[in-house]
Amino acid sequence: MAVLAIGGLQTIAQVNWSDPVSENSKSPQPAQSPTQSQQGWAGLPTVPSSPSAPAQSNATSKPAAKAPAATVKGAKPQTSTAVPSQPAAPEATSPVPTAVLTHSSLSTYAPRLESAPAHPSNYGERYAKDIFGKPVSNAPLIVLHETVGSADSAINTFQTPHTDENLQSSYHSIIRLDGTIVYIVPPEKRAFGAGNSVFKSSKGAEAVRTHRQFPPSVNNFAYHISLETPSDGYNDAPSHSGYTEAQYRSLAWLVAHTSVSDDRVTTHRAIDQSGSRMDPRSFDAQKFYSYLRSMPRPYLNQ
């Protein structure tokens, strides 16, 4: 089975990104352990290529909205817990190699999983070259965010078509207050989670420019995870009551299923070059790393 792989990362679930979803499928369901895994970018589920093909847009570095708001009042986001039967073939422009990997259970902790596919206008391809034709090979990066609104509000925004490139935004996944992980953008695709952004590593400043109208960003090599903000944080205040234990545990579980090292886990605030991003506010890094280091990470050095 040819699937997307990178850095020895392993998959942890199978998610349906394309099948019709029912109104009742929104309720969190226990995670299932598939007998055969589908390996995706950053160790996450691979997506059927046809339904998930992005719209014809070269957009890349989009300034994510501070507080994603539902564009359809009262509408519930479309979510599903079904799983696809076939993996995708690697995209022709993808810098990610192919490999065959098998499922491996890393922890007895099993968060609930949902899929809520974003509209294709709100994400794009990961490019093997920048706009100047220079090959890019940045190692995967995990960027942490917060929704600054409800998870459902953010999902509704991402599921709404946006023809204006300045309005296109998305995360790869959101972690609800109860710890449910919601997969939104296929991991092998480029979510529009950060605008003008740079990650400063031991190799220097890392960013890739893939659109002439927008500044360089980390989007081409980042996996964007957002924590649902508690209700007292639906504002621009510098802090709020913080995230739940379930959120920290699910975040650690998600990161533990990758080979991304601790020094390549960062925040939107740290990479933002505009000076306007504060997320994730009130994030307890000590608690997160305590959970992360308590979980097996067999792929960390691969």
DSSP-assigned beta bridge partners for residue 98? 4
Condensed to tens digits (0 to 9), the pLDDT of residues 275-286 reads 899 999 999 999
Q: How far is the C-alpha of 121 from the C-alpha of 193, rounded, in Å?
A: 13
pLDDT digits (tens, 9 = 90+) for 117-143: 999 999 999 999 999 999 999 999 999
Residue 23 DSSP SS3: helix
Lowest mean pLDDT of 44-48, 142-146, 223-227, name the range.
44-48
- Please report the pLDDT score of residue 42 as a whole number: 55
Question: Residue 69 carries which side chain, given as an amino acid letter?
Answer: A
Write the CATH number of the domain with boundaries 1-302. 3.40.80.10
- Residues 273/197, Cβ–Cβ less than 8 Å: yes
Question: Which residues make Cβ contacts (< 8 Å) with residue 120, sequence separation at least 6?
Answer: 52, 53, 54, 55
pLDDT in tens, 41-93: 555 544 333 333 333 333 444 434 444 433 333 456 676 654 333 223 333 33
Give the start-to-end residue ranges of the domains of the chain.
Answer: 1-302
Q: Given this model, what pLDDT does residue 297 score? A: 87
Q: What is the DSSP letter of 272?
A: B
Report pTM.
0.74
Query: How many helices and strands (H and E) does the chain possess?
Result: 5, 12
Alpha carbon distance, N-terminus to C-terminus of the chain: 21
Contacting residues for 50 by C-beta, under 8 A, at least 6 apart: none
Range scoring the smallest mean pLDDT among 20-24, 81-85, 195-199: 20-24
